[in-house]
Amino acid sequence: MSAQSQVVSFQGVWIPLVTPFRDGALDLGAVRRLVRHYAAQGVSGFVVCGSTGEASALEEDEQLLALDAALEAAGAVPVIMGLSGASQPRLLRRLAELRSRPLAGVLSAAPAYVRPGQAGAAAHFRALADAAHVPLVLYDIPYRTGTQLDTATLLELAAHPNIVAIKDCGGSLDKTQALIAHGGLQVLAGEDLQGFGTVALGGTGIIAASAHVRADLFVAMFQALQAQQLQVARRLCHALAPVIRLLYAEPNPAPLKALLARQGWLRDEVRPPMMRAATGLALQLEAAAAELDRLYPPADSSA
């Protein structure tokens, strides 16, 4: 693989890829099948080893294996690597290891548990951005990290030439609107039900775990919003909402993996301490996905 990174705009619908397992080990064949499938449905890119990818439960060599499998299958479709943790020296070493991969960017959240404060978080992100050979995408997700990134901190970081975008799970409409209005960062919704609103406000896209289910409809909703076809986009949003809500009824990605397993894409396996979704929820999801297919018949339903 070439070490040259891809120059991309962080817009459209991105899939934060699940990590399939088979008898506890990585199922790299399933990774490749999923990536090829979603690439054919028109997604703008993939995130490997994010929250949905159970990155914190993977060994470092497993993370690289999952990344390489995704890169192999993605072809020209951009791939972002998730890279977060509490040890800045370790993250800097990982950035050096990633230089041989043709990444579109690196997604990183504030150090979990440490709670470094605004100045510490800003300094941490600047250190990563200085060292990265590709653009840094901020991941604002305080309910996982324990660090609330203030609007002022994010706007300060937007001045860094290698910090270009944000996955917005910050939970504040005021902050989302301020970031979009400022224009220094490309803003991608990270909360799936907020994708419609973020893009309608001028955000550049969505990183949505639920886009594993009918990615083509998420792409159609984004394109309708871009074209100012609000009625079309609203109908799609309302149709997708029941599936999205069920996918987060239990901790992500267990419900998603349960549904994908029933659809034949992977085994219904998660890494402990994550637990498999309840059978009742899996059945509800299967019914909701079938209703979505009834409303919007898929062009190709084969797995």
Whether 147 has a binding-site annotation, put simply, is: no
The CA distance from 62 to 266, in Å, is 17
Given 38, 113, 139, 175, which residue is catalytic?
139
The CA distance from 95 to 89, in Å, is 10
The CA distance from 40 to 73, in Å, is 11
Whether 52 has a binding-site annotation, put simply, is: yes
The CA distance from 36 to 39, in Å, is 5
DSSP codes joined into one string, 30-44: HHHHHHHHHHHTT--
Given 38, 113, 143, 167, which residue is catalytic?
167
DSSP codes joined into one string, the chain: --SPPP-----EEEEE----EETTEE-HHHHHHHHHHHHHTT--EEEESSTTTTGGGS-HHHHHHHHHHHHHHHTTS-EEEE---S-HHHHHHHHHHGGGS--SEEEEEPPTTT--HHHHHHHHHHHHHHH-SS-EEEEE-HHHHS----HHHHHHHTTSTTEEEEEE-S--HHHHHHHHHH-SSEEEE-SGGGHHHHHHHT--EEE-GGGGSSHHHHHHHHHHHHTT-HHHHHHHHHHHHHHHHHHTSSSTTHHHHHHHHHTTSS-S---TTS-PPPHHHHHHHHHHHHHHHHHS--S----
167 is catalytic: yes
Question: What positions carry a catalytic annotation?
Answer: 139, 167
Q: Which parts are annotated binding residues for pyruvate?
A: 52, 207
List the binding residues.
Answer: 52, 207
